Amino acid sequence: MPYRYLLFHKPYDVLCQFTDDGEHGTRRTLKDYVPVTGVYPVGRLDRDSEGLLLLTNHGSLQHRLSDPKFHHPRTYWVQVERIPDDAALQRLRQGILIQGIKTRPAIVTLLPEEPALPLRDPPIRFRKTVPTAWLELTLTEGRNRQVRRMTAAVNFPTLRLVRVAIGHLQLTGLAPGQWRDITPDELRPLQDLCR
């Protein structure tokens, strides 16, 4: 069976799996959007997060991109409550203690303006007296709810979280719920990882 590599823009409130156990009612899953069988997500995005997922049936590539020991970068745009100061940004860059373990250093930038993203359904809560800001945050590990825990630890809670890149792969051009096969140019660097 040939390898498949798909990019998918996971919408908000969609489980990052193809089946639902049904314990919490019927929830949307990848099966509602991606009609390709035998592929699985590389890493995860929480139900309340959005953005880029890579799906493949190439097991060694999945391992290479998911295992934290390989330090594969993932980039997120993060809307936070209030405007983080330099001290908070520096703490995020240096790593945050979460459940007794310090996160790896991150690349963190305060974005000068709100990025061009599709509106979220439902929209985030809006409070007239509380400003928000957008961060670009690049991590090389993928611990459970890591971005949300990091921003909460510096007292700037995450309101919206969108993964915009997995290494060189970009979310650009995919609307929420859309998927496509990766291009040959996108595939080459992934093949190099498995040599």
pLDDT digits (tens, 9 = 90+) for 23-46: 666 789 999 999 999 999 998 899
**Quick one: tokens of 154?**
């510096």
The string of pLDDT tens digits covering residues 8-23 is 999 999 998 888 776 6
pLDDT score at 24: 63
Of 13, 20, 32, 46, which residue is the catalytic one? 46
Q: What was the pLDDT predicted at 25?
A: 65
Instruction: Report the C-alpha gap between 15 and 23 in whole angstroms.
Output: 13
| Res 31: pLDDT | 92
The structure tokens 């409130």 sit at 13
Q: What is the pTM of this model?
A: 0.93
pLDDT at 1: 72
pLDDT tens-place string over residues 156-173:
999 999 999 999 999 999
Arithmetic mean of pLDDT, 121-130: 83
Contact 14, 32 (CB under 8 A): yes
Does pLDDT of 194 surpass 90? no
C-alpha separations of 74 from 128, 132, 164 in Å: 32, 23, 8
Res 121 pLDDT > 90: no
Radius of gyration of the chain (CA): 17
Nearest-angstrom CA–CA distance, 55 and 100: 32
Q: Is 13 assigned a catalytic role?
A: no
Write the pLDDT tens digit of every residue in 47-105.
999 999 999 998 888 877 877 777 789 999 999 999 999 999 999 999 999 888 999 99
The predicted pLDDT at position 193 comes to 74
pLDDT surpasses 90 at 144: no
User: Which domains, from first to last, does the chain contain?
Assistant: 5-184 (3.30.2350.10)
